[in-house]
Structures are given as C-alpha cells and as structure tokens.
Structure 1
C-alpha cells in the first residue's frame, strides 16, 4: 500500500517550513526525514527495493514544494512526470531506521530536470536514484526555460555532471523489449 499518511505529513511539514523560510532556489539541496516502518519491509526484514522508489516520492514532493515548483505546477496547470530512472543500493535499511532523503538538481537541459535522491542512515549512504523529470502541459513535455521563468530563475544553468551526462547518452541507445 502507498504510504499516504507519511506522504501527507511530509507535505504539511514542507508547507509549514515554507511559511517560515520562503521558497529556495532549484540549485539547493533539500532534506526530509522519514522512518522505515513495518509496511516497508520485505521478507529479509529490510526496506523493499520497490518501496525505496516509493519513499523517494516523499523527497521529490518536498523538493517541489520547497522550491516553489509545486506552486508553479498548480498555477500553470502543469504536471510532472518521471521519464527515466536508475538506482544503486549500497546499504540495507532496517525497521525503525531514521532515513534522511536528500534531493538535488544535478542537471538541466532544454527538456528535462535531472534529480538525484539519496537515502542516508546514521550519516551513511544507503541508496541513490537518478531521475529524468519532465514538466508537462496538455500531455506534452514543455521547455525547461518556461519552468525557470515561472520560478523567477530564468538564468539558472546546471550542466549535467559527467556521470549524469554519461547516463543521458547511454539512454539514447536503450533498447526496448522486442514485441511478441
């Protein structure tokens, strides 16, 4: 089951913090804390790999709210899609572990935002995911320049880091499974 209660609590906390501090730049890193619960566990009594991606939604939503992107999405009637992802796991997350999710923008191009989320327990990295995100209007991905303008950051340039650029290039050669 989707962690609706944790997700809603995180959103309320993000909105509350924004009232105190205001929006931050897309260039900033955000952090949000969650706890591994019994519903996150697999038979090995560690956070399930699929649940990791779901819990990263909390970090992404926190980033969207704190940067003002969420407000722009609502105001412009835009959507946000994940168009690609890759994940790496390093350390197990156990029941009741306090997890810090860090989210940062690691690249922009004409069409995509590249976000990196990472999970940390006791100061040690547990996993990291790279996402290609698009902002949509009427079901089509729009230019990032429009998004930056709406956020009053029209001059923001974040060149994809080399490892991100390699991932972008490698995905151009991605083969889809054969039909049939």
Structure 2
C-alpha cells in the first residue's frame, strides 16, 4: 500500500522547512541537492528482512516530493494545476536497507532538456550508498496529462535561460533508452 501517512508527514515537514528557508533567504535552488531522512519501518521490509525494491522506488517519490516543495516547484504545481510524472528510470542496488536503519535520501536535478528533467536520487545508510537511481521526469498539465515544456516550468520558477546538459553517463542512458523498443 502507498505510504499515505508518511506522505502527509513529508508534505508537512518539507513545507515547514521551505517556509523557514524562505524567511532566512536559503530556499533550495533547482540545482541544489535536497536531503530527506527517514527510518526503515516494518511496512518497508519484505520476506527477506530488507527493504523491498518496489518500496525503494515509492520512497524515492517522497524524495522528489520533498525536492519539489523545498525548491518552490510544489507551490507552482498547485497554482498552475500541474502534476509530476516519471517516464523512465534505472536503478542500481548495492547494499541492503534493513529494519530500523536510518536512511538519508539525496535528490537533485542532474540534467534538463526541452521536455524532461533528469533526476538523480540516492539512499545512504551509515555513510554508504545503498542504491542509486536516475529518472526521466516531467511536469504535466494535471487535467490533460500532457507535459509542460521545461522552459515554461523553469521560467515560472525564475530560472529563464538555465542550461543543465547531461553528464556523459546520463547521456548514454538517454541514448540507450531511445533505442529500446516499446511493445505494441
């Protein structure tokens, strides 16, 4: 089941942090890395006593939600009736996350093109990276589901003319994903 209680806590804590940072003039920028902390709980653990891979992807949703709120994008989403969508992802797992582990999640935009925001997310336990994800995401019109051009989203946030080309490893993934056939 989707962690709605944790989502509610995430929204409240992220919004509180955003308002505090706005007062102090330290709002997270679009190119900053945000950090979200949580503890692995019983609902996250599978029959092998580790965090389930599906749950990890779901918790990454909360990290992107936190990022959106802390950068001011969350406010624009509500004002303009926009939504967020994931259109592709790849993930590597390196270390198990166990029950009651204290987890630090890091989220950042690592590249932008005319249609997509590429997000990089990691989870850390005890100073070691447990998993690393790359996601192709977009801001969409909530009613139609159609993607909003990144230039329009950036402009609404005051980032006109921002360019964030992909690092080589991100570009390789983008190119490889274009070659992938989609079933018809």
Moved over 6 A (4+): none
Give the superposition deviation at 1:71: 0.9
Whole-angstrom CA distance in 2 between matches of 1:80 and 1:68:
14
Alignment of 1:3-152 (within 5 A): 3-22=3-22, 23-137=27-141, 138-152=144-158
Shift of 1:155: 2.5
State the number of aligned residues: 178
2:40/2:103 contact within 8 Å kept: yes
User: What are the ranges of 5 or more consecutive residues in structure 1 without an aligned counterpart?
Assistant: none
1:175 to 172, 181, 184: 181
Q: Secondary structure at the match of 1:15?
A: helix
Q: Secondary structure at the match of 2:74?
A: helix
Rounded to whole Å, the distance in 2 between the matches of 1:64 and 1:75 is 13
Report deviation, 1:26.
0.5
* TM-score (normalised: structure 2): 0.94
CA–CA distance in 2 between the matches of 1:50 and 1:139? 24
The answer for unaligned runs of 5 or more in structure 2 is: none
Residue 162 in structure 1 maps to residue 168 in structure 2: yes
Whole-angstrom CA distance in 1 between matches of 2:63 and 2:175: 26
Deviations 1:128-172 (A, max 9, x none): 111101111222112100001000011321111111111100011
> What TM-score, normalized to structure 1?
0.96
Q: Distance in 2 between matches of 1:171 and 1:73?
A: 28
